[in-house]
A and B are shown apart, each in its own frame.
Chain A
Amino acid sequence: MNEPTVFIVDDDEAVRDSIGELVGSVGLTATTFGSAQEFLDAYDSESPGCLVLDVRMAHMSGPALQEKLVAMGATIPIVFISGHGDIPIAIKAIKAGAVDFVQKPYRDQQLLDSINEALQRDAAARLAAKRSDHFEHRLTVLTDREREVMKFVMQGWSSKAIANALTISHRTVEVHRSHILEKLDVRSVPELIHLAKERPE
C-alpha cells in the first residue's frame, strides 16, 4: 500500500511492456494498461503512484483521460509520452497539471526523471493531504473558548489584546494558545495559519 506504483497506459503492447521493464529496472513497481478505459476501471485513488500516459490512443486519448481524472478529483501525477511533438496538446496537458511531457525519442534518463518527479509529487501531495486530515480532526477537540481564541490568533491579535477583548487574564490567553498549538499538532502560529488557510470552507 505504501509502495508507489507506476501505472503505464499505452495501446502498443511492446511499448507499455518496455516502459514497465525500464521502470522495473530501477526498482519501481509498474502496472500496465492497454487502454484508458482499462486504467479507469482499475483505478484506486488510494494507491500511491503516477501515471505514464501515451498521448495518441484509440477511443480515449491521453489528454481525454487526464480531463476525466481531473473531473473526478483524482490528483495522480501524469507523465505524458508523445511521439508527435504536439505543442498545443503539451501546453494544455501541463496547464491541467501534468508533471511532464516527454517527447519520443527521449534521452536515457529523461523518462525516469519525470517518473521520479511525479512519484515525489504524489508522495508530497499524499503527505499534505494526510496532514490536512489530521488538522481537521484536531480542530474538533478544541473547546469553544479555545476556538474563540484561535480566531483572534489567526487574525494576528496579541495575547494582551485578546485578553482585553474577551475580558480574561493575559495568562489565561497564553494557556489557551499553548493548548491550541498542542491540540492541533502545530509548532508555531504561522504554521497554524497556513494549515487553517488550506482548509476548504
Chain B
Amino acid sequence: MPFVSLSRQAAIVVTAAMLLHAPASAQNPAEGTNPLEAAEPWRVVILHNADFLLPGSTIMDQALREALVRLSPRPLDLYGETLDLLRYPESTEAELVALLRKKHQGHRIDLVLARGQGGLDFALKHKSELWPGTPVVFYNNVGDTFQVGSKPINDDVTGLLIDLDPSGTLDLVRRMHPGVQHLYIAGGVAPYDLAWKRRVEALVAERTDLANVTWLDHLPLPELVEAVGRLPADSVVLYTSMMRDAGGYERISQRVAGMVARAANVPIYGFIDTYIGRGVVGGDIPDFAAEGREAAKLALRVLQGEPPSSIPIQPAPPAHCVVDARALTRWHIDESKLPAGCEVRFREPSIWRDHQEYVAGGIVAVLLQSILITGLLLQRRRVQVARAGEANRRTELERSLAFERLLVQISSTLLRGPLIDPKPAITQALRRIGEFLGAQRALLWNLDPVGSRAELTHSWIADGVALPPGSTDKQQLPTIFQRVSQGEVVAVSNVNDLSEDDRDGLRPFATSSILAVPLMVDGLIVGALSLASVREHRAWPPELIPRVRLIGEVFATVLMRQRYATKVQEAQTETAQYRERLAHLVRVHTVGEMSGAIAHEVNQPLMAIENYALAAKRRIRSDNGADVPKLKELLDKIAAQAARAGDVLKRLRSIVKKHESEATELDLGTLVYETVNLVEMESRLKDIRVEVAVSPDLPPVHGDDVQIQQVVLNLVRNGVEAMDGSEVIDKLLRVEVQDSKNHHLIVRVIDHGKGVSPADRAHIFEPFYSTKEKGLGIGLAICRSIVEAHGGKLSYAVNPSGGSMFEFNLPIAEEKAEQ
C-alpha cells in the first residue's frame, strides 16, 4: 500500500505552483518540454528497510517527500514499500518480491529510493527482476558497502552515506564533563551495532583527551542495565546502538537507550535522534530531516537524467548538537556550557516537577505551551498545505484543526478541573476524543511502576459496547504493554496485526482496532490512554497521533495531580486518625486519674437513692398507715437521683468512648459548662472555686465535641492541680469564653496557682515533657495538636495576678464554611 499517493491532478497544481515560484531547480532540463510531457509523472519506488511509522523514519521520510514534491519539475507518483526488515528479517522476502512483481508489472519505474543498508541490499538483489534498468539512490545508509566519495560498484547506483562520526558527541561529553574519569561505551552486537563500534573504537584510539574507556558491549541487556546502575561517580556512558545484545536477543535500539538511561547512575550520551527524549542527555545528532531533503535532491538529479555513475557517493548533512533539557536537570548539568546553537528539546516545564502544589502558574504554562505547540503545528501545517495544495491534505488539515481545537478545549477543562475528583471532566474528555476518532471505547489506565499491570481508572464507552475489565496485565497483552511501557504509541487498525497473545487478550471485548498511548509525566510512564473500535476497523490518522500523545500528557498531569491531592488528603485523614487514637488514650488516662472523684460523683446519688428507699420502706411499715403523697415524693426523688447517676456515667462514656472524629457545629459555652461540671467534684474537694463566664449570644464553632471537651478538661484540670495545696486563700479558677472579634472564639483558663517556670515555658507543649511528678507529658501536646487541627491556636501566658493563663481559639463555624 503506497504511503502517499499523489493524484495526477494534484501534481499539476504543484507544478504550476513551482513554476510561479520559479525556484532555481525548476530551471533545469524540464524547461522547454511541452506541458503534456511535463504532465507525465515520474514513478518512484521508496524501499523502506524499516517501518515507515517508526519515529526516525517519519521525520526523514516526511522531509524527503516534501522536498521531492516541492522541487520536482514533474508530477510524481510515489510508491512506498516497506520491507520491515527490523522485525521480519528475510522471512517474508520471497513473498514480498512476488507481491512487488505483481504490483509493478507493466509500470515503468523511474527511480528506486532505497533506505538503509537493508533497502539497498534488497534493491540490488532484485533490481534486475523487478525494475530492470532503473537507477537506485540510497540514503540513510551507514556505509557497510560504500565509502563517502567512492564510486559505486554498480553504475545505476548512487546515494548518501550517514556521517557516522561520533566525535562530535565525544566532544560534547568532554565539554559538559571536563572532569570525567571513565567513559563507558554501551552497545550491541548486530552488524549495525558493530559498524558503530568500529567507528567509535577508531575515534577513541585517536583521541588522547578521553578518560579510561571501558566497553560494555559484551554484556547482555539485563546485565548491562544492572551494570550501568553501579558506575563510579565520575563516569559518563556513551550509548551507540543495540539491535542485538550479547545474549543474542534482538533489541530495539531506542528502547534500550531508554532502559539504560533510566537505570544509569551517571549521564548517558548518544548520537541517534530517537534516543533523545528517552533519558539520554544528548549528542551530536544526525539531522534526519536534512538528510531526507538531501536524498530528495539527489533523487531529482538522477530523475532529471544525470547518470548515477557520475555522481559520487555523498555524505549526509552534518550532525548537530541536541540535548534533552530534562536530562540536563536530572544530572545537574550546566546548560550554559552547551555549545552555541545546540538544540535544547523538552524544555517545557512539567507541572508535576515544578509546581507540585499545583500552582496555577504551572497549569497556565502547560496550557500556553499546548496552545503554542498547537499554533506552531497549525502554522507548519498551513505552510505544508499551501505548498502541497492538495485536496485530501486539506481534509486532513481540517481534521487536524478540529482535533486540535478539541484538544485545547479538553486540556483547559481538565487543567482547570477539580483536584480531588476530576472524574466527570476526564470521562467527558474521553468521550469527546473517542467520538472524534470514531472509537467506541476510550479508557484511562493506571500503570504500575514496572509496567506489568494496568488498572482502569476512567472510562467512556459508547452505547451497547461491552464494559472493559477493571484491570489487565502484561500476560494478557504482552505487545501492547511492552511498547506502551517503553513510551511508544501502539496504533493498530487491525488487531490481527498484533501478536497472538494480544489478540487473545482483546478477543473477549470484540476489539477490532486499538490505539494505545503512554501517559508520561516528566519522562515517567504513569499510565495509558487506550482507544478502541469494536467490530469495525478504524485507521488511526498518523498525523493525529502526536496530538493524542499530547493529550496523554495532559491526562497524565491531571492524574498525577489527583494522585498527589488524594495522597495529601489520605495523609491528613491518617494524621487525624492517629491524633484521635492518641487523644483517646489520653482521655482514658485522664478518666483513670479522676476515678476517685468519679466514684464519689456516682456514689452520691446511689447513697441518696438508698436512703430514700429505706425511708419509703419504713413509711410503708408505719403503724399509722402509708402516707401515699409522701411515698410518691420519695419515689420521684429516687428517680431523679437514678437519672443523675446515669448522667454521670453518660458523660464519662462520652469522654472515654472511641469515636471517629467528626466535625459538627458546637456551642462552645455549653461545652465548657458541661466540662467544668465533670471537674467540679475534684475541684470542690480541693477547695477550688471554678467560675465560668461565657459571653452571651456567641456563634457556634466547627469541631469535634469530644476532642474540644478534652482540651477544656485538660486545661481546667491542670489549673485545679496547679492551685491544689497552694497558699492562695481564694483558690479561683476562671474559665472565659469570648468572641475574639476576629472570626474566632477564645477560651481562657486562668488559675492562681504556682505558674510555669520560665525554663519550662518553652517546653510545656512538647510531647513527653511534664512538670508533674506523675504526668505523662502528653496532655498539652495533644491539646495543641487538636486545637491546631481545628484551625486554632493554643498558647500560654503568665497570669499577671499570679498563676497561669492558657488560651485557645477556634474559628467561628460560618467563617469556615465560607472558606
Contacts and interface: CB of A to CB of B under 8 A. Distances in A.
Interface stretch (B297-305, B400-408, B610-618): B610-618
Interface of A: 11-12, 14-15, 17-19, 21-22, 24-26, 56, 58-59, 83, 104-105, 108
B386 interface: no
Interface of B: 600, 603-612, 614-619, 622, 634, 637, 640-641, 644, 684-685, 687
Contacts, number: 61
A12 B604 contact: yes
Given A56-B685, A58-B685, A104-B603, A18 B618 contact: no
Contact of B615 (A22, A58, A105): A22
A15 B685 contact: no
Contacts of A59: 687
A68 to B, nearest CB: 17
Nearest to B606: A105
B612 A105 contact: no
Nearest to A59: B687
Nearest to B621: A25
B605 A14 contact: yes
B614 A108 contact: yes
Q: Which 10 A-B pairs have the closest CB atoms?
A: A18-B611, A25-B618, A14-B608, A25-B615, A18-B608, A21-B615, A22-B615, A22-B611, A58-B684, A12-B604
A58 B687 contact: yes
A26 B622 CA distance: 8
Contacts of B640: 14
Nearest to A23: B615
B607 A15 contact: yes
Given A18-B637, A83-B600, A24 B607 contact: no
5 contacts: A14-B640, A18-B609, A21-B634, A25-B618, A59-B687
Given A12-B604, A18-B609, A18-B611, 17 more contacts: A14-B641, A14-B644, A15-B604, A15-B608, A17-B608, A18-B607, A18-B610, A18-B641, A21-B611, A22-B612, A22-B615, A25-B614, A25-B615, A25-B617, A25-B618, A25-B622, A105-B606
A103 to B, nearest CB: 11
B685 A26 contact: no
Nearest to B624: A27
B610 to A, nearest CB: 7
Nearest to A21: B615
A18 B644 CA distance: 14
B810 to A, nearest CB: 32
Between A19, A22, A56, the greatest number of chain B beta carbons within 10 A of the residue's beta carbon is seen for A22
A19 B607 CA distance: 9
Contacts of A15: 604, 607-608, 611
Contact of B607 (A11, A21, A83): A83
A25 B604 contact: no
A15 B640 CA distance: 12
A120 B658 CA distance: 55
A59 B611 CA distance: 25
Contacts of B608: 12, 14-15, 17-18
Contacts of B604: 12, 14-15
Nearest to A104: B607
Most buried by A among B604, B605, B610, B611: B611
Contacts of B603: 83, 104-105
Contact of B614 (A12, A22, A83, A104): A22
Given A56-B685, A59-B687, A105-B607, A14 B637 contact: yes
Contacts of B687: 58-59
B514 to A, nearest CB: 81
Nearest to A56: B685
Nearest to B686: A58
Contacts of A26: 618
**Best-buried of A21, A24, A26 by chain B (most CB within 10 Å):** A21
A81 B133 CA distance: 129
